[in-house]
Every structure is written in C-alpha cells, then in structure tokens.
Structure 1
Amino acid sequence: MTAQSTGYVAGDHTIRLTLYVGTNGTFNSAATQITVTEVGTATLTYSSCGSAVFSYNFSAGEFAGKSGDILLTRTGATPAACVFGSSCALIPSETDGPYPLYSILSNSAIQRRDITESKTGVPLRVVLRLINVNNSCAPISNAAIYIWHCDKDGVYSGYTNQTGGVSTFGDTFLRGIQVTDTSGQAVFETIYPGWYTGRITHIHIQAYLNDVLTQGTAVITTQMAFPQDVTKVVYNSTLYAAHGQNTSVTSFAQDNVFSDGTTYEMATIAGDVASGYVATLTLGIAA
C-alpha cells in the first residue's frame, strides 16, 4: 500500500493523502507495468509541533469500511520553528550584573554543555538560538554563547563575600560556553536558578561572534526571564524549599532589569518539576 499527498503547501497543518494498492510491479515506476487501485483517503493533521493525528478511511480493498485515528508523536529533533516560534526582533541589552567572572573566558574547560558540576536542583535544559535581524533573521553559526547564573540558594561561583559571607572563589559551577551550530543553536544542561535579594529569577547570557571570546567584545549582553507560575512551583519543591520563595522582588515591575518589560526575554518553558524543564529563547541581534 502506498500513500501520495494530494495537497500540501508550506504553512499547512494538514496533509491530505490518497491511499492506493499496487499489484504486478513497483509503484510509480516507469520500468514496469502496475495495476493501481485507489482504496481510501487519509489526512495527517499536526496538532502541535510534537504530535500529529493520522486519520484513515478505506473505501475499497481488503480493509474496506475500516477507519480510525492514530496519534503520532515526534521522537527525533524538533524543528527550530516549533521550538522558537517565528520571533524576529532584537533582544534587549541588559547589565552583566555583579558576577560575570570574565577571567574564565579563556578557559577551554568552560566550553561545555553540562554546567552543573556538583550543584543540585531541578534539571533545566537551556536552548538558545542566535539570529541576525539584519539578514531576514537567518541563524548565526560559530558564535560563542556564554551563560551564567546562581545556584538554588542564590550563590554564584567565583566570588567572595556574597550574601551571608559565602565565598566561592576558584569555583566555576553554573557557567559555560557553547558554540552555535548551523541552526544558530546552543544547548546547556543546568539547574533551575534560585534567587538572591533584589533580583527576580534570571540567567545571564552573552554572545561573541566568530567564537572570539574577549572581554568587552560581546555583541549582546542580556538576561533570560522565567514565568512566575513555573518559578513558584520550583521554589516550593523539596530541593528549593529551604531558600523558599523570593519575597524581595515579587513581580517583574519591581525588578531593576525587567521592569521595562519581558516581551523578548521571557523563556518559553516546557516540562514539569518532577522530570525537569526545557527553556528556549531566541537571541535576535543586528550583525
């Protein structure tokens, strides 16, 4: 049995199919004669980027009168358009904050996907996509993306005299660099960030073109924001409960970075607190 598409254009969410049975040869081959009989129709409807429904109806042949629906789920890589949507806008520039630790930019060991080291927390995969808004939002490959954030208790690596007198001098946890692939993507495995007094939950992000990591040459310094409903669930979980909810900054309007809005800096979150989350964000720059 063979299916041929009878109508599909870019942007459609449904593919319409005609079902055939072929005998005495190879279907659609000019080299052999074949008897082709139409036996039914089908549609493939994409209900989301991760799933589709295959609906079939046989009007002839050995399966005549049979019909039904089959739910299909994606097992391979998800297309970038599904993960990131169609956003094509400049991401705002933000402060690099008090804990950038630029001294590690030349450390080859920091070029890593997994940045957790020994830190525990709810697993978080960060998927970033770098695009050029001056070139039809084409992906930018071979760019270095540097991210850093605090642990579940609000502590950064590499600095002394943090809240409560904590010192992490010499540590590099929750910092890492990845080079974007041909799709402009960089992926990090980390934990959901905690919070510290005066700031709402965030991750710091910098991009360096052509994989040139030199302090002061980043083409963008920005921050990723997180939906507050997700953050509250995480902070109520066992690993985060001791530090608790952030009572110092309870809204984006009160935050000194995101008070002007989070439209282009808000992560898209999927997952749950038990198995972990995936956070995606498009980094639009004018290159």
Structure 2
Amino acid sequence: MTGNIENNDNSQDEQHVGGTEPQGPRHKRSLTRRKVVVAGAGAAVAVGAGGALAAGAFAGESKPGKGAKGAKASASAGEVCYKLTSETTEGPYYIDADKLRQDITEDKEGIPFTLALKVIDSETCKPIANAAVDVWHCDALGLYSGYESSSTGGGGAPTDAPSGTPTGTPTDVPTGTPTGEPPAGGGGGGHEEPTDDKRYLRGTWKTDKQGRVTFKTIFPGWYRGRCVHIHTKVHVNGEWTDAGYEGGNTCHTGQFFFDEESVLASAAVAPYSTSTTERTTLTEDTIYDQSGVQGGLLQLKYNKKNIAKGVVGSITMGVEPDATHEGTDDAVQPGASASASASAS
C-alpha cells in the first residue's frame, strides 16, 4: 500500500502513519530491525461503534502527573506508573505484524470485543505516542490464523469418525527409542513457521498522542492447557513510513487475561458453547502470574445479563522504552506444565 494510512481512533484528531517522526532513543543501543508489510487496500479499517465504546474505557483512570510529585497525588496513578507490566512468552504463533489495521475480526464469529489499550513509560508516567502495538489471539474455538493445522482448537468431535471396535494386532509397531523434541502444536515449544496464509484476529496499529490504541475483534476462545488470553507486543523507537513500521526495539511482550466470570458467561454463547476442550481456569494457568492488572488482567465492561451484546476490555501497560523484551529467551511457553514454569522462572 502506498500513501498515508488514516488513524481511525476517534479519541484523538486524525493522525497519519506516513511522515510521522520516529521516537528517538534516550540512550544509544543496538536496535533490532522489524518491518510491517501493509496488506491490501482494506488494511486500515475504522473501529466504528467499538471505538465509541472504548472512548470511555479510560474514563475512570487518574491522569498521570508530572514527575514523582504528580504520581504520588493518586494511589492508582502510582500503581500504574511504578509497576512494570509483566513480561511473558511470545508463544509459538507470532507473525511479525503483517496486517496494519485496527479491526482484526475479518469473518470470525464470536462475541464483539473492543480492546482499549494505553501505553506509558513506567518511570516517567508519560504516555508513549507512535508506538507500534501488535495483538493476536485464537478464535472462538481455539484456532490461530496462520497455524490452523498445528493449533489444537476445540470444535468438537468430527462427524465422520469411524465407529466400532478395531480388531486384530497391528503389525507395524515402531521399535527403538524416539529421537528429537515433541512437536510444539497446541501452544508449547518455541516459535513455529506459519502453515497457512490466513491472518484473522491479528493486527498492528499505532498509539496516539495519549498513548492509546483501540482494536476491534471478538472475545477469544480457549484451547488445551491455557486460559483465555490475548497476546501483545509493543515496539518503540522505530519509524512509521508509507510501508509501515521499521526498526526500533520490542520493549514489551505480554498477554492479556480475562476474569472467570466473563469467561463462564461467554462459554454459554455460541460458538463458544460448542467447544469440547477442557478449559484451564485463570488460577490454573501457568503463564498468568496472578498479579492482577500488573500481570495483564483486563478491566471488562459488558451487560451481565447478555454478554453476547459485546464486551469492552481496557488496560494500561507500563513499559521500559529503552529495554528489549522479545519474549523468546528463557520464557515459559504456553501449555507448559506447572513444574516447567517453576524451572523456567
């Protein structure tokens, strides 16, 4: 795509990707290089009604003050500004931001979900503008785009499953000791290369002058070994160009989590209700660190009597702009056992 890409975040004046000045690093350091490839004429999609819902998502937040004095004026502001948001594993299903857009839903069915994010410097409390924020998650039945053949999902038993009891003794039983590592499908292991060209429920967009960015998607489902979650990365100190986002460093790799009440409510709504996969609860999950907002727990707003109408989730991420957190080294992988988590931490 050529030309500027319109920012449809209705909480701020119109912004453009092309020609935006990059954030300069505060200290010299080697920068990792990454690039966003803009896909198709429909890459920039308006958040629409979801954006209007998200506009009030931060209404209850205390505005960060200037310096330590301003932060101490509010206990909630202090909590946000001086606690870094937890770093987690990238997981095996990350694709390097090849969809520059805010509406990542495509044609996936599910409960409408608006994700309202704010990115601030955890040391100065100031919002971080022009950061590139990636989000990606599974669909209502646990499948990841780009990895449909290797992500496990939970869509129920196949309708053409063979019936009856097998007879006879197999003659081709393998012998010897197996070698190599088990496959990473289902969430464990390191990064995997995509197996298909689908890219639903994935997207990247820029933060505005207040450090805010909004995505329109669906409420995620679940798969074996993990609670309901959304993955995220924050990239800074790079440059927005007509082609996308280039250079800079990944200052945060994390995940967002959902409280049990909301997940139980979603599980009663189709297509989530058709899943046959046993669900891992928030307290059982091996990635969520049980620290609430600091660990990525979203603040959720929805009609308690009818979650199917839609949900708004919001959170402020406190990050270190000069740090590098790729989420790929010495990190606990999704689907890992509790013992694996302990040994990796």
Task: Give TM-score scaled by structure 2 length.
Answer: 0.55
Whether 1:191 and 2:218 are equivalent positions in the alignment is yes
Change (3 A) 1:242 1:77: closer
Structure number, greater radius of gyration: 1
Report the 3-state secondary structure (helix = DSSP H, G, I; strand = E; otherwise coil) of the residue aligned with 2:308: coil
Q: Distance in 1 between matches of 2:58 and 2:139?
A: 29
Change (3 A) 1:197 1:242: same
Change (3 A) 1:223 1:216: farther
Change (3 A) 1:201 1:158: same
Root-mean-square deviation over aligned CA pairs: 2.8
Change (3 A) 1:180 1:132: same
Report the 3-state secondary structure (helix = DSSP H, G, I; strand = E; otherwise coil) of the residue aligned with 1:181: coil
Q: Distance in 2 between matches of 1:209 and 1:271?
A: 32
Counterpart in 2 of 1:142? 130
Whether 1:201 and 2:190 are equivalent positions in the alignment is no
| 1:105-184 superposed matches below 5 A | 105=97, 107=98, 110-135=99-124, 137-159=125-147, 160-163=149-152, 169-184=196-211
Q: Residue deviations 1:1-55, cap 9 Å, x none?
A: xxxxxxxxxxxxxxxxxxxxxxxxxxxxxxxxxxxxxxxxxxxxxxxxxxxxxxx
Deviation of 1:248 after TM superposition, in Å, equals: 4.3
Report the 3-state secondary structure (helix = DSSP H, G, I; strand = E; otherwise coil) of the residue aligned with 1:94: coil
* AA at the equivalent of 1:111: L
Q: Distance in 2 between matches of 1:77 and 1:263?
A: 20
Counterpart in 2 of 1:262? 292
Alpha-carbon contact 1:225-1:262 (below 8 Å) kept: no
Whether 1:82 and 2:60 are equivalent positions in the alignment is yes
Alpha-carbon contact 2:137-2:230 (below 8 Å) kept: yes
Counterpart in 1 of 2:281? 250
Deviation of 1:156 after TM superposition, in Å, equals: 0.3
- When structure 1 is superposed on structure 2, of 80-89 and 152-161 the one drifting more is 80-89
Report the 3-state secondary structure (helix = DSSP H, G, I; strand = E; otherwise coil) of the residue aligned with 1:258: coil
Q: Distance in 2 between matches of 1:79 and 1:232?
A: 22
Deviation of 1:129 after TM superposition, in Å, equals: 0.2
State the aligned residue count: 206
Structure 1 or 2: larger strand share? 1
Whether 1:280 and 2:280 are equivalent positions in the alignment is no
* AA at the equivalent of 1:225: F
Counterpart in 1 of 2:258? 226
Q: Distance in 1 between matches of 2:229 and 2:112?
A: 15
Instruction: Give ranges in structure 1 of 5+ residues lacking alignment.
Output: 1-73
Alpha-carbon contact 2:84-2:318 (below 8 Å) kept: yes
Report the 3-state secondary structure (helix = DSSP H, G, I; strand = E; otherwise coil) of the residue aligned with 2:266: helix
